[in-house]
């Protein structure tokens, strides 16, 4: 049974904190990058599950602003894995007309990685059947700070009246203002926190936590998350 068959209420946008790669590798007495490679297989599986279930947007927390402090060999391995993923899976994006986008400070990434991202994003920019968004060098607080700085610059230039700054104004200055907020946030590995992920955008999302480590997270696990989402009543502050 597919995820689509199991739930009648499908989120338009799913965000995922792909956690547990390091622990998965450690349990197998392997280096952390081994877990990240296995995690890439889960991403491929869940992207396919999104297509089958009718989820339009999938945002994954691939590399945070805090991740830059990790050992250099792990960071280098992650950047190499990202390039490999883009080259190996670009044909899947084209075949399924999925658009690739990035949220975060892409300018912080190595030049070769940026070039590969730019190339694939340009090649898929007109696709509308699905959207894969990679959060890279991303931090929720950093995103809000960058938005505030952009607004402050416009106020100083006389382009914005400070009295008219509202939630819509702030949202329009986030990294991807045209992308709808996530309806469902999934975090794997049993951790119960946001870890600075999409702090503004997740304000009204449903949260789903699972003990499954990301490299083991596959279509049946995703279907459980969608089924749980379908059971919840989303009132957005209205009375029940």
Measured distance CA(69)–CA(10) in Å, rounded: 37
**Beta-bridge partners for 14:** 58, 184
21 noted as active-site residue: no
67 noted as active-site residue: yes
Supply 92's token pair.
């899947």
Measured distance CA(25)–CA(19) in Å, rounded: 12
Tokens 């602003």 sit at which residue?
A: 65
Measured distance CA(101)–CA(123) in Å, rounded: 11
Measured distance CA(57)–CA(134) in Å, rounded: 11
21, 67, 118, 183: the catalytic one is: 67
User: What DSSP state is assigned to residue 240?
Assistant: -
Q: Active-site residue numbers? A: 19, 67
């Amino acid at each position: 049974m597919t995820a689509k068959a199991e739930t009648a209420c499908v989120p338009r946008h799913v965000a995922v904190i792909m956690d547990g790669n390091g622990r998965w590798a450690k349990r197998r007495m392997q280096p952390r990058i081994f877990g990240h490679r296995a995690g890439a297989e889960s991403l491929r599986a869940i992207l396919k599950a999104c297509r089958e279930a009718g989820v339009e947007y999938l945002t994954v927390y691939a590399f945070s602003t805090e991740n830059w402090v990790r050992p250099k060999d792990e960071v280098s391995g992650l950047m190499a894995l990202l390039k490999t993923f883009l080259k190996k899976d670009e044909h899947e994006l084209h075949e399924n007309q999925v658009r690739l986008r990035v949220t975060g400070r892409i300018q912080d990434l190595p030049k070769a990685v940026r070039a590969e991202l730019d190339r694939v994003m340009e090649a898929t920019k007109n696709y509308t059947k699905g959207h894969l968004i990679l959060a890279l060098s991303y931090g929720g607080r950093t995103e809000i700070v960058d938005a505030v700085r952009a607004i402050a610059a416009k106020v100083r230039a006389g382009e914005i009246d400070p009295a008219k700054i509202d939630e819509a104004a702030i949202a329009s200055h986030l990294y991807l203002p045209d992308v709808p907020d996530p309806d469902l946030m999934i975090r794997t590995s049993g951790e119960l926190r946001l870890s600075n992920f999409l702090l503004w955008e997740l304000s009204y999302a449903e949260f789903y936590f699972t003990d499954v480590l990301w490299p083991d997270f596959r279509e049946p696990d995703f279907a459980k998350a969608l089924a749980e989402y379908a059971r919840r009543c989303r009132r957005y502050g209205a009375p029940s």
